[in-house]
Amino acid sequence: MTYDDSNVFARILRKEVPARILHEDHLCLAFADITPQAPTHFLVIPKRPIARLADAGAEDKAVLGHLLWAAADIAARLGVAHDGFRVVINNGARAGQSVFHLHVHVLAGRDMAWPPG
């Protein structure tokens, strides 16, 4: 899908909207989810304008790997990695995606059910 840079995560990247930032580097930004679904819930987003995981191309492979590395590294720094954490990417409206800038959810601090709803 076409990337629309008026979405809220693009605005957070441009620092137009405040966020509780946990990590930033040349490829990604991580910040606390505004409506946490677990005691720890943060999002890791690429700086590149990718609307959905399905829109990532071969040129994005390194960025996709970096997002997962950052997710685990931040979880470790927050002290939640040992007990377990869940990583989720909702791709498309039917899967629950509401913000069309690719993001990795990281949830921790409670028991997780399977299968997810």
**Which chain residues interact with ligand AMP by CB under 6 A?**
8, 17, 19, 31, 33-35, 90, 96-99
Alpha-carbon gap, residue 49 to 20, rounded angstroms: 21
Question: Per the residue annotation, which of 23, 26, 66, 103 is the catalytic one?
Answer: 103
Alpha-carbon gap, residue 24 to 13, rounded angstroms: 10
**Nearer to ligand AMP by C-beta: 45 or 80?**
45
Alpha-carbon gap, residue 15 to 115, rounded angstroms: 36
CB of 79 to ligand AMP, least distance (A): 21
**Nearer to ligand AMP by C-beta: 1 or 58?**
1
Q: Is 103 a catalytic residue?
A: yes
84: left (phi over 0), alpha (psi -120 to 50) or beta: left
**Nearer to ligand AMP by C-beta: 19 or 75?**
19
CB of 117 to ligand AMP, least distance (A): 12
Burial of residue 63 (CB within 10 Å: 0-12, 13-18, 19+) is middle
CB of 107 to ligand AMP, least distance (A): 10
Residues forming the active site: 103
